[in-house]
Amino acid sequence: MIETEVEELVRRLINDLPERCRTVFLLNRQEGLSSREIAEALSLSESTVRVQIKIAVDRIVAGIRTHYPDLKLVSLLLFLFTARF
């Protein structure tokens, strides 16, 4: 049950990301594109892509922590890096 709730929360948090940040995050996590591939596709630097992914992960983690402060960080990170959105 909590997994479904967390998945829905993560979807909402992803949808609330700024457009470029959301696009980069989803291309990386959903499509499995590398930073280099995303950079080429969106005409961005690889550094910008990495920063956007970090911003996305930081915001998602912070949002989840607000709702589930006792959720272990390891569980949260495993979820973020294995889930498909």
Q: What is the model's pLDDT at position 25?
A: 96
Residues 6 or more apart from 17 whose CB is under 8 A from it? Answer: 25, 55, 56, 59
Mean pLDDT rounded to a whole number for the chain: 87
Task: Give how far the C-alpha of residue 75 lies from the chain's centroid of Cα atoms, to the nearest Å.
Answer: 15
pLDDT of residue 24: 98
CA–CA distance, 43 with 84 (Å, rounded to integer): 24
Output the pLDDT for position 13: 96
User: Taking residues 23-50, what's their average pLDDT?
Assistant: 96
- pTM, two decimal places: 0.81
CA 81 from centre of chain: 8
75 pLDDT higher than 80: no
- pLDDT for 5: 82
Distance CA 33, CA 37 (A): 6
Q: How far apart are CA 3 and CA 79, in angstroms?
A: 9
pLDDT of residue 40: 98
Give the confidence band of 51 by pLDDT, cuts at 50, 70, 90: very high
